[in-house]
């Protein structure tokens, strides 16, 4: 069964106006669901980045307290890169949302 045959509900070989409207409605529904999923994923990523930036100093402190001085030193060395990268994600999220809201 071809894709066209699946869409042609009354099997007359043509897509009627009603069938085409149903197809458009389904397309809109899928676009809305995709946009919703995208927003949820973006929010989750931003939350993870914010949590990571807040917990990073405590992870360094914990490694130091547990006696993992080498690990604490290595984590401290990459802290500046991590915080800049995570901040970039957060800034990008809020910046692009602000631009999108202005244009809407």
What are the tens digits of pLDDT across the range 2-49?
A: 665 666 666 666 666 777 778 788 889 999 999 999 999 999 999 999
Whether residue 88 is contained in a domain is answered as yes
Query: pLDDT at position 8, please?
Result: 63
Whether residue 11 is contained in a domain is answered as no
Burial class (CB in 10 A: 0-12, 13-18, 19+), 86: buried
- Domain range for residue 43? 16-103
Whether residue 2 is contained in a domain is answered as no
Whether residue 27 is contained in a domain is answered as yes
What's the full length of the chain, in residues?
104
Whether residue 39 is contained in a domain is answered as yes
* Domain total in the chain: 1
Whether residue 9 is contained in a domain is answered as no
Whole-number mean pLDDT of the chain? 85
């Amino acid at each position: 069964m071809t894709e066209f045959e699946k869409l042609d509900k009354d099997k007359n070989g043509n897509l009627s106006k009603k069938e085409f409207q149903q197809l458009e409605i389904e397309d809109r529904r899928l676009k809305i669901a995709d946009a919703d999923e995208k927003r949820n994923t973006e929010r989750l990523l931003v939350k993870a980045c914010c949590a990571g930036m807040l917990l990073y100093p405590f992870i360094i402190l914990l490694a130091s307290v547990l006696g993992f001085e080498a690990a604490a030193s290595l984590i401290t060395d990459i802290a500046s890169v991590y915080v800049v990268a995570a901040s970039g994600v957060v800034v990008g999220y809020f910046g692009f949302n602000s631009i999108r809201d202005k244009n809407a």
